[in-house]
Amino acid sequence: MTSVGKHKQGEAMRRTITVKASFDPEANVWFVEESDVPGLSAEADTLESLAAKLPAMVADLFDENGVDDAHADSAPPIELIAHQYISAKRFAVA
């Protein structure tokens, strides 16, 4: 039973997990500000380090919460959106 817009029987629905990260200049760390995964909380010195932590943490939270996606052949993709506020310095024109 397959048709356009429907998944094959037994095929897990794949969804993209969105994680929004922000930089805390006082603590000098990147942290998870918001995500589609309840309970996801992490921080790291660099954005790359934070991104590296996310797949395992998401899989662990899926396991803890009984989400079937954690046992699929391929994990759902994670979209990492980063926010960092910086100020532009004004330079005097000579």
State the total domains in the chain: 1
Mean pLDDT of 10-24: 79
Residue 53 lies in a domain: yes
Task: Please tell me the predicted confidence (pLDDT) of residue 18.
Answer: 97
Alpha carbons 38 and 36: distance in angstroms, whole number: 6
CATH number at residue 35: 3.30.2390.10
Decide if 47 is inside a domain: yes
Query: How far is Cα 2 from Cα 9, in angstroms, rounded to an integer?
Result: 8
pLDDT for res 14: 63
Residue 15, in any domain of the structure:
no
Residue 5 in domain: no
pLDDT band, residue 94 (cuts 50/70/90): low
Q: Is residue 2 part of a domain?
A: no
pTM of the entire predicted model? 0.71
Q: In the chain, what percentage of residues exceed pLDDT 70? A: 73
pLDDT digits (tens, 9 = 90+) for 63-75: 888 876 544 566 7
Residue with the two structure tokens 């997990």: 17
Q: What is the pLDDT of residue 7?
A: 38
pLDDT of 53 > 80? The answer is yes
* DSSP-derived secondary structure letter, 68: G
Range of the domain at 37: 20-83
Residues 6+ positions from 66 with CB-CB distance below 8 Å: none
Q: Check whether 8 has a pLDDT greater than 50.
A: no
| pLDDT score at 17 | 94
Query: Does residue 68 sit within a domain?
Result: yes
Structural domain contains residue 45: yes
Q: Per the domain annotation, does 7 fall within a domain?
A: no
